[in-house]
Amino acid sequence: MKKPDQHIKYIKVVLPLALPKNYTFSVPDNLVDEVKFGIRVEVPLRNKLYAGLVVELMDPDHEPEYSTRNILSVLDSEPIITADQFELWQWMSDYYLCTLGEVMNVALPGGLKLSSETIVVMEEGIAWEHLDMSDDEYLVIEALEMQKELKIETIREILDKKTVYPVIKRLLDKRLVWTKELLLESYKEKIASYVKFTPEYSEGEIDWERAFELTARSEKQHRAILSLIQLQKKHKSVERKQLNEMADVDGTVLKALEKKGIVELFKKQISRIESYEGKVEKLDPVSVIQQQTIDEIEVGFKESHHALLHGVTGSGKTRIYQEFIKNTIESGGQVLYLLPEIGLTSQIVHRLNRVFGDEVMVFHSKLSGHKRVEIWNACYQGHPVIIGARSSLFLPFRNLKLIIVDEEHDSSFKQNSPNPRYNARDVAAFMASKYQAKVIMGSATPSLESFYNARMGKYTYIQLNQRFGEVSLPEIEIVNTSVKSNLIPNSFHYTVRLITQIQTVLNENEQVLLFQNRRGYSPTLICNACGWNSGCKNCDISMTYHKVFKELRCHYCSSRASVPTSCPQCGTVGLFDLGLGTEKVEDELKKLLPEANIARMDLDTAGTKNAIDQILLDFEQGKTDILIGTQMITKGLDFDRIGLVGILDADRLIQFPDFRSGERAFQLMLQVGGRAGRRQKQGKVIIQTSLVEHPILKDVLTNDFETFVMREMKERKQFNYPPFSRLIDIKLLHRDPKLVYRAAVYLGAELKQKLGKRVLGPAVPGIARIRGQYQQHILIKMEKSNDMVSKIKSFVLASKNKTLSEKAYSPVRIIVDVDPM
């Protein structure tokens, strides 16, 4: 029974789960004063504990129609998100047809998300010594006698077993133990121990002489004082560990010095974010053309918050970005610099560090959870410049005034899994309006969507057609692979012209980039006798042969298999590798040019940030003559001595079965070609293809963006594809192909009732089965009307829910992708 004067305050909480709506919880009187928007609270749900975000404080007099559970504790004293941030989450949830919990799950760094873990506790006052128990049960009980409670993971270590639940269940049945859920916060402050002289011994040589006299009988104490003096000259603060190593002493020596009043031992929190150790330099002067471009952007910003900078490779777009960053910092604003793949952009990060020093922080998913939390907190406190991949959009900016989207055309800005399946470029455009910020989207090959928006007046369009320093664009040559030569084996994938040019460039002490957008040695192994191929057991696709690892690997489900010595189907010895991967490109080139230093950069050799940096450093220092790579080498590379770029298999780029294949092929070829000759000397690009008359190749040959765009736009308009329509791709998955087909037919019929010809499908995609799941696709083409799009999205969501509410189709997984790439 509640007292008449007792009021219960209710709050709405978002949990990092795919829940259709926010939960309402009640707040105990003792916690009412601590609850506010944007803080985390500990809440119970389904016998587990979660850290939820408070997003609404409800009227104390408004009592829900259903019973609510109390929050258990308040986890923060200050909000960890801003109101603007939460509005962005809501917009993303609505636009990309997902739940707020799914947005929260992606948005918050792992260190700010809490996990619930089962704890086993021993019952008090139970006589267990004479009970009939197994050896494992005895071990657990004995450990509990000493520690009172144990985590599941600890019990696994004690028993040296992965599966311990049967043991715990037997102990529960005997009422010897009980379990509870403990909410564990993964982020912890980093604390380090330091040493400094006390005030009596900190003034200089006279004080230090007194310290030496006081420790004259101890050689170790004498060494410690001497080392502390030396370290203080180099460091503002001296760590105990550092001093111990330099002086070759242990903790007892420092304790003795502390007891004598010579030093003070203390602890403090330190940042995990590395400081910039280099020299901060002034910005180089801008060229006349760069200044004109800056002025054009400034004028454009008076009409629109959005600018599209179309600048050829090597035109100095980064220098223009730096000017806007400097002006934004000076006015007290924050800058978000978005890059498609942060691991490949060390050069840009270094260029910004050189000018802005510690005002630049880098945020991406490869950082440790602790570092991500610290950058999150720094951003909330107003740190000036954040460079990051797409996930940095979710940081809690307080005064965001400039967003730069570099290489805005890049498909890496699109998140494909999990929800929300957002495009960082489009979210940045929304954020610019929300935060009253400016956004500059830059590319040498703008996406058709952005170019169309510029033509329609939504974005200011600025062209920069000249390379910095008036260096010429590379000379492009198309070489016909259909013409064979006796000088190179027929099985090899090099033309005589390309090999000759490589030799010429190497003789001139320059370097070569070779592009092949497929890793591994070859995409498949086949048997010429019976037609067997190295198909994946989980996916309807061939496993790629990796010669270096001596195994077959599926690039979709990551399954692996050993390479068969003979055909598993008919026993024929001598399987053939079909197709071309970066390993084969490297293998063949080493046979043709054995004297050259060759390196490869793909997901196999550059899986970590350190590996990428090392490969690029070796290339920059001239240790590598030829660098072979996948799409990785098309992004952010700026080296002085690249004389030649070779594109080995343009056919595959152009003929990929997708309505965007022409656009992507054009972008990739110009982007990778643009790495050549970026300083004083004109570079060269050789494109190997059998499609020498293809119109896209002719546009690449003349760097004719306008002609390419006009032709592509005409085709897109004819078939009603973006930018003339909006798309929603619906994917249905299940292990039973018949069930997923029936569910797709049911959902398709629901959609066609209202949407009619806008709905295409259902249809089986090019790869029918991935990771053991059969697929069906439905595509919806929508008019570019905000009201219509909103209505269609609501109907799509309702139709999806209706399909899943049917008992027969409830096991089917349905993925809705708005604006698929």
Instruction: List, as one string, the DSSP characters of 192-225.
Output: EEEEEE-GGG-SSHHHHHHHHHHTTT-HHHHHHH
Domain 116-185 maps to which CATH number in 3.30.1490, 1.20.1530, 3.30.70, 1.10.10? 1.10.10
Phi/psi at 233 (nearest 5 deg)?
A: -70, -25
Q: How many of the other CB atoms lie within 10 Å of CB of 493?
A: 17
Closest by Cα among 517, 497, 507 to 672? 517
Q: How far apart are CA 483 and CA 419, in angstroms?
A: 48
DSSP, collapsed to helix, strand or coil, labels residue 378 as helix
Predicted pLDDT at 271:
62
Q: 78 near 37, Cβ under 8 Å? A: no
Q: How many of the other CB atoms lie within 10 Å of CB of 766?
A: 11
- Please give the structure tokens belonging to residue 408: 């805005």
Phi/psi at 690 (nearest 5 deg)?
A: -100, -5
Q: How far apart are CA 654 and CA 666, in angstroms?
A: 8
Q: Is the pTM of this model over 0.95?
A: no
Q: In a 10 Å sphere around its CB, with 0-12 CB exposed, 13-18 middle and 19+ buried, how is residue 711 labelled?
A: middle
Predicted pLDDT at 131:
80
Long-range contacts of 248-254 (CB under 8 A, 24+ apart): 248/223, 249/220, 249/221, 249/223, 249/224, 253/218, 253/220, 253/221, 253/224, 254/195, 254/224
Q: How far apart are CA 447 and CA 663, in angstroms?
A: 8
DSSP, collapsed to helix, strand or coil, labels residue 278 as coil
Regarding beta strands 400-406 and 438-443, do their DSSP bridges make them parallel or antiparallel, or are they unpaired? parallel
Closest by Cα among 323, 396, 386 to 349? 386
Q: How far apart are CA 692 and CA 697, in angstroms?
A: 7
The enclosing H or E element of 797 equals helix 786-805
Cross-strand pairs, 644: 512, 684
Q: How far apart are CA 429 and CA 403, in angstroms?
A: 9
Closest by Cα among 233, 224, 231 to 255? 224
What are the sequence ranges of the domains in the chain? 9-115, 116-185, 288-468, 475-522+579-716, 726-818
Sign of the CA dihedral 305, 308, 314, 315?
negative
Q: 180 near 248, Cβ under 8 Å? A: no
Name the class of domain 9-115: alpha beta
- Please give the structure tokens belonging to residue 340: 């498609």
- Please give the structure tokens belonging to residue 166: 């049967």
Q: How far apart are CA 173 and CA 150, in angstroms?
A: 18
Q: How far apart are CA 536 and CA 539, in angstroms?
A: 5
Place of tokens 């939820």: 52
Q: 88 near 430, Cβ under 8 Å? A: yes
Sheet holding 149-151, edge to edge: 149-151, 114-122, 177-185
The one-letter amino acid code at 606 reads A
Q: How far apart are CA 706 and CA 786, in angstroms?
A: 29
The one-letter amino acid code at 322 reads Q
Cross-strand pairs, 334: 400
Cα R_g (the chain), whole angstroms: 32
475-522+579-716 folds as Rossmann fold (3.40.50)
Q: How far apart are CA 339 and CA 3, in angstroms?
A: 58
Q: How far apart are CA 598 and CA 619, in angstroms?
A: 10
Q: In a 10 Å sphere around its CB, with 0-12 CB exposed, 13-18 middle and 19+ buried, how is residue 337 labelled?
A: buried
The one-letter amino acid code at 792 reads I
Sign of the CA dihedral 355, 357, 360, 363?
positive
Q: In a 10 Å sphere around its CB, with 0-12 CB exposed, 13-18 middle and 19+ buried, how is residue 278 labelled?
A: exposed
Q: How far apart are CA 422 and CA 727, in angstroms?
A: 13
The enclosing H or E element of 796 equals helix 786-805
Q: How far apart are CA 398 and CA 334, in angstroms?
A: 8
Closest by Cα among 770, 773, 774, 744 to 759? 744
Regarding beta strands 475-480 and 460-464, do their DSSP bridges make them parallel or antiparallel, or are they unpaired? unpaired
DSSP, collapsed to helix, strand or coil, labels residue 616 as helix
- CA distance between the termini of the chain: 57
Question: Residues with Cβ < 8 Å from 483, sequence gap 6 or more?
Answer: 495
Task: Give average pLDDT by consecutive 10-residue segment, the chain, 821 residues.
Answer: 54 92 90 91 84 88 81 89 94 96 91 77 77 86 86 84 78 83 66 86 81 86 89 82 88 89 82 66 90 95 94 89 96 95 74 89 81 89 94 94 95 92 96 91 95 94 84 89 82 91 94 94 94 94 94 93 94 92 95 95 83 86 93 77 93 91 94 79 92 95 94 96 97 96 98 96 94 96 92 96 95 96 89
CATH architecture of the domain 288-468 equals: 3-Layer(aba) Sandwich (3.40)
Q: How far apart are CA 745 and CA 731, in angstroms?
A: 12
Predicted pLDDT at 175:
82
Closest by Cα among 659, 499, 524 to 581? 524
Q: How far apart are CA 306 and CA 420, in angstroms?
A: 24
Q: How far apart are CA 252 and CA 384, in angstroms?
A: 44
Q: What angle do CA 467, 473, 479 make, to 5 degrees?
A: 160
Place of tokens 């018949």: 738
Q: 107 near 89, Cβ under 8 Å? A: yes
Q: 668 near 638, Cβ under 8 Å? A: no
Q: How far apart are CA 441 and CA 404, in angstroms?
A: 6
DSSP, collapsed to helix, strand or coil, labels residue 118 as strand
Q: How far apart are CA 136 and CA 177, in angstroms?
A: 14
Q: What is the dihedral of CA 189, 193, 194, 199, to 10 degrees?
A: 100
Q: How far apart are CA 577 and CA 631, in angstroms?
A: 23
Q: How far apart are CA 187 and CA 76, in angstroms?
A: 13
Look up the CATH number of domain 726-818. 3.30.70.360
Q: How far apart are CA 421 and CA 427, in angstroms?
A: 11
Q: Do domains 288-468 and 475-522+579-716 have the same CATH topology?
A: yes
Instruction: List, as one string, the DSSP characters of 501-544.
Output: HHHHHHHTT-EEEEE-S--SSBSEEE-TTT--B-B-SSSSSBPE
Q: What is the dihedral of CA 796, 454, 656, 562, to 10 degrees?
A: -80
- Helix then strand then coil, in percent of the chain rounded to 5, is 40, 25, 40
